[in-house]
Structure 1
Amino acid sequence: MKLYYAETLAPRKTCAVAKYLGIPIEYAFVDLKKDEQSKPDYLAINPNGKVPCLVDGDRSLWEADAIICHFAQRAESDLWPHDGRQIDVVRWLSWNSQHFYRHTGSLYFEHIIKPAFGLGEPDPSKVAEGQGWFRKLAGVLDQHLKGRKWLLGDGLTIADFSVAVTLPYAKSAAMPLDEFPEVRRWHDQLNAIEAWRNPFPARPATSAANAALNA
Structure 2
Amino acid sequence: MKLYYAETLAPRKACAVARYLKMDIEHVFVDLGRGDGEQRRPYYLAINPNGTVPSLVDGDIKLWEADAIICHLAHHSETGLWPRNAQQQIDVVRWLSWNNQHLYRHGNALYFEHLIKQWLGMGGPDPSKVEEAQDLFRKHASVLDQHLKGRKWLLGDDLSVADFSVAVTLPYAKSAAIPLDEFSEVRRWHDQLNAFEAWRNPFPARPIQVAAQV
TM-score bin, normalised by smaller chain: over 0.9
Partner of 2:39: 37
Aligned equivalents of 1:205, 1:8: Cα separation in 2: 18
TM-score normalised by the chain length of structure 1: 0.95
- For residues 176-206 of structure 1, the C-alpha deviation after alignment (integer angstroms, 9 at most, x for no partner) is 1111000000000000001000000000127
3-state SS of 2:117 partner: helix
Is the CA contact (8 Å cut-off) linking 2:70 and 2:161 kept in structure 1?
yes
Q: Which has the larger radius of gyration?
A: 2
- Summarize the alignment of residues 33-182 of structure 1 with structure 2, pairs less than 5 Å apart: 33-34=33-34, 35-83=37-85, 84-182=87-185
- For residues 87-116 of structure 1, the C-alpha deviation after alignment (integer angstroms, 9 at most, x for no partner) is 110000000011111111000000010111
Aligned equivalents of 1:95, 1:158: Cα separation in 2: 14
- For residues 150-195 of structure 1, the C-alpha deviation after alignment (integer angstroms, 9 at most, x for no partner) is 0010100000000000000000000111110000000000000010
Identical residues among aligned pairs (%): 74
Is the CA contact (8 Å cut-off) linking 2:30 and 2:38 kept in structure 1?
yes
TM-score normalised by the chain length of structure 2: 0.95
3-state SS of 1:142 partner: helix
- For residues 30-76 of structure 1, the C-alpha deviation after alignment (integer angstroms, 9 at most, x for no partner) is 01001110111111110000000001111110000000000011100
Partner of 2:17: 17
Shift of 1:135: 0.7
Gap runs ≥5 in structure 2: none
Gap runs ≥5 in structure 1: 208-215
Q: Alignment length, in residue pairs?
A: 207
State the AA in 1 paired with 2:71.
C
Aligned equivalents of 1:205, 1:65: Cα separation in 2: 30
State the AA in 1 paired with 2:178.
M
